[in-house]
Structure 1
Amino acid sequence: MAENSVFAILLRSSWWISVVVGAIIVVLCLALLPKDIRFVGAAGSLPFLVIGAMAAKRQWNQPSASATEALLAQAAAMSSRDLQAWLTRAWQAEGYTVSPLQQSSADLQLARNGQTTWVQTKRSKAGVHGIEPLRALHDAASKADAASVYVLLQGDLSDNARVFARDKKIVLLQNLELATLLKKAPIAV
């Protein structure tokens, strides 16, 4: 699906928007079309209702905007060791086996279903992330046959780093995705 198609945009939006669009189509078809084709026209709302259901399923366990802000603020206030422990519990709740790595470019190794993922958390509080840490992480993970690479971010990527991450398929864990993951594990006191 094209990134800026109507359905892709609706899939990224709140679920209820697609449902409202579908309902408007149904109401307009029932009100304006001749009796013999009303229901056929109303069937045109089905893609919007399906997209609404898909978006609702995706958004079901996501934290609200205020909860996202609170989770990210808690994460930002933690030491990198405490944040790493919180992330470890969250990934374990998702069924990953998490082990520390003694690498300069990655901190954690996740394993599940024969797939390996390397995670970098130590630069999570940097304001701007450049291309060099991403390149080092990608090179090290590639040598270790890591199936995917995550980089934990609470700052912004430089333009070159964003292009590199996209080209090398480095998954950037930040904002809502990060808060959704952190929500899966309670904070240890």
Structure 2
Amino acid sequence: MKLKMAEKSLFAYLLRSPWWVSILAACGIGLLGKIMFHGDYFSYALTLTLPFVVIAMIVAWRQKDVPSQSRVNDTVEAVIAMSWREFSALMEQAFRRDGFEVRRINGAADFLLTKEGRDSLVCCKRWKAASQGIEPLRALVAAQEAQEAREALYVSVIDLSDKARQFARDNRIALMLAPQLTRLLRLPKKSLPRTPIGTK
């Protein structure tokens, strides 16, 4: 039998919160125990802080590679200002850095990635389009079937509509939105390309 934590429980809330929230809770319990108890009773009260410390460690581990909101905002600001040539070159460099073989293609997808014998199609030409409907995703699915690719990835810094998200889920299309794109590109804060990609 698999136990499931209640979504609205205190520990579930802490697991969704920044790690320092659990540390603050542990400190608060420790301070309260110091005020109310002495001697062995205080030692017992301190043991109540252990679950909160453990949760803080779990959350910190989960969030160690998660970019801050300010860094995400800086990345969005930078890539929206880029031309397609600049953005596509950065994407290609980032994929190669992560160990993919990258081939540019035309049509519904922009890149064919290969790694460990698995092919993936990537569509990112509409990365900053104001509206993100289902049509580009539907075209990507058709291209995936035609190429017999194992996976498909759709890239956008603009959030998708609920219908587009549902279509992506139904068709197993991976979405790379602003937080994931921030981790992939690893741009410095407040950084905009000063020279065209590929020039010295």
Q: Verify same fold: TM over 0.5.
A: yes
Alignment partner of 1:122 is 2:111: no
Residues 158 and 30 of structure 1: CA distance in aligned 2, closer, same or farther (over 3 Å): same
Alignment partner of 1:179 is 2:182: yes
Question: Could you tell me the percent identity over the aligned residues?
Answer: 35
For structure 1, the residue ranges without an aligned partner over 5 or more in a row are none
Larger CA deviation: 107-116 vs 174-183:
107-116
**Structure number having the greater helix percentage:** 1
Give the TM-score of the pair, scaled to structure 1.
0.76
In structure 2, distance between residues paired with 1:8 and 1:116: 37
**Pairwise CA RMSD of aligned residues?**
3.3
Alignment partner of 1:141 is 2:144: yes
**What residue is the counterpart of 2:91 in the other structure?**
87
Q: Which amino acid aligns with 1:179?
A: T
Q: CA deviation at 1:75?
A: 0.5
Larger Rg: 2
Alignment partner of 1:107 is 2:110: yes
**What residue is the counterpart of 1:49 in the other structure?**
53
SS, match of residue 151 in structure 1: strand
Q: CA deviation at 1:24?
A: 3.3
Aligned residues: 188
Residues 184 and 74 of structure 1: CA distance in aligned 2, closer, same or farther (over 3 Å): closer
Give the TM-score of the pair, scaled to structure 2.
0.73
Residues 168 and 35 of structure 1: CA distance in aligned 2, closer, same or farther (over 3 Å): farther
1:130-166 Cα deviation digits (max 9, x unpaired):
1121122123324544343221112232221121123
Q: Which amino acid aligns with 2:91?
A: L
Q: CA deviation at 1:40?
A: 6.4
In structure 1, distance between residues paired with 2:11 and 2:52: 8
For structure 2, the residue ranges without an aligned partner over 5 or more in a row are none
